Structure 1
Amino acid sequence: MKDVAVIEDPAAAGVSLDPVRARLLAELAEPASATVLAARVGLPRQKVNYHLRALERHGLVELVEERRKGNVTERVVRASAASYVISPSALAPVEPDPERAPDRLSAHWLVALAARLVRDVGALLSGAARAGKRVATFAVDGEVRFASAADRAAFAEELAGAVTALVAKYHDEHAEGGRAHRVVVAVHPAVRPQPGQTQPDRTQPDRTQSKET
């Protein structure tokens, strides 16, 4: 089972977004049969089988084993990944384009950059899986609490200068055998879970941060 699978096929994306099928994928972090799943989610076994077949057709569920019980063969399946992300390529005609109106202070442009990141890394993962290789990537995730909007602006300027200097230092346009890499650095307000929530409420800003954007 993969840690994360990036869904690039529009049909697979549609299948995964069905609430019942999403619930089944969550339940299938560990292998189970349709009979076991039916008891867990409170649906008839035939209905669960119908949804499992749809998930399996699109590679979201995989067969683990088949058990013979009398005249019946019980299929045990599991999710093909622990979690899933839908690539913007699944919505290719309307996916965000970061080349359109680039603005480093725009939250919409940041979303477009993030979408491209998911799309590109998803494609790299798919290619690497077919080739039996790993993708060479690097990421840093941290948090900084700014005392003021002025401090945040100063931080952004220093960060931009440092990244620009590093890119200029190591970029070699004519390196034989070299390979281009994309560098994306982002700063945005943190989103905190509300009391009683396990996931952040993405409709509310983080009240510990400045409301300015």
Structure 2
Amino acid sequence: MLDVAVIEETGAAEASLDPVRARLLAALAVPGSATTLAAQTGLTRQKVNYHLRALEAHGLVELVEERRKGNCTERVLQATARSYVISPSALADVAPDPDRARDQTSARWLIALAARLIREVGEMLAGATAARKQLATFAVDSEIRFGSAADRAAFAAELSDAVTALVSRYHDAAAPGGRPHRLVIALHPSLKPPGVPPAHTPGESATP
């Protein structure tokens, strides 16, 4: 079982978004059958089987084993991943395009970049997994508390200068056998727990 899988096919996305099927996927983090799932969810065995067939058809669950019980064969299934992310490829006609309106200070452009990241890495990860190869990636996740909006702006400017210098140092357009890599850096306010009002940064307007 994978820790995270990216859903790229429209039908699979539709199947995963069905509330009943999402519950079954969550329950199948551990192997189960229609009988055990019916007991857990309160659904009939026939209805569970119906949903399981749809999930299996889209590769969201897979057969673990078959157990013979009297005159019947019980199929034990498991979800193919613990968590799923839907790629913009599943909504190709309306997928965001970060090249359409580039704006470093736009939250919507940041979302478009994130969507492209999921789509591109998801596609490459699927290919690497099929080929049983490791996909070369690197990520940094951190949190910074700025004392003021001016500090945040200064940090963004210094970060931009540092990244530009590093790119200039290591980018080699003529390197034989070289492979382009995409670098995305994001900075945004951290989410607060439900019920906690967002903190107000000194020097920043309280309205969007």
TM-score above 0.5? yes
- How far, CA to CA, are the matches of 1:22 and 1:169 in structure 2? 47
Question: 1:91 and 2:63 equivalent?
Answer: no
1:29 is paired with a residue of what secondary structure?
A: coil
Distance 2:180 2:50 in 1: 45
The TM-score normalised by the length of structure 2 is 0.95
TM-score (norm 1): 0.93
The residue correspondences of 1:1-213 to structure 2 (distance < 5 A) are 1-194=1-194, 207-208=198-199, 210=201, 211=206
1:212 shift after superposition: 6.8
Structure 2 spans left out of the alignment, 5+ residues: none
Amino acid corresponding to residue 198 of structure 2 in structure 1: R
Measured in 2, the distance between the counterparts of 1:115 and 1:209 equals: 28
Alignment match, 1:200: none
> Where in structure 1 are there 5+ consecutive unaligned residues?
196-203
Q: Which amino acid aligns with 2:170?
A: Y
Deviations 1:147-184 (A, max 9, x none): 11111111111111111111111000100000000000
**Identity across the alignment (%):** 68
> Could you tell me how far 1:101 is from its partner in structure 2?
1.2
Q: Displacement, 1:192?
A: 2.1
> What is the rounded CA distance, in whole Å, between the counterparts of 1:36 and 1:163 in structure 2?
53
Residues 56 and 28 from structure 1, CA distance in 2 versus in 1: closer, same or farther, beyond 3 angstroms?
same
How many residue pairs are counted as aligned between the two chains?
204
Superposed CA RMSD: 1.3
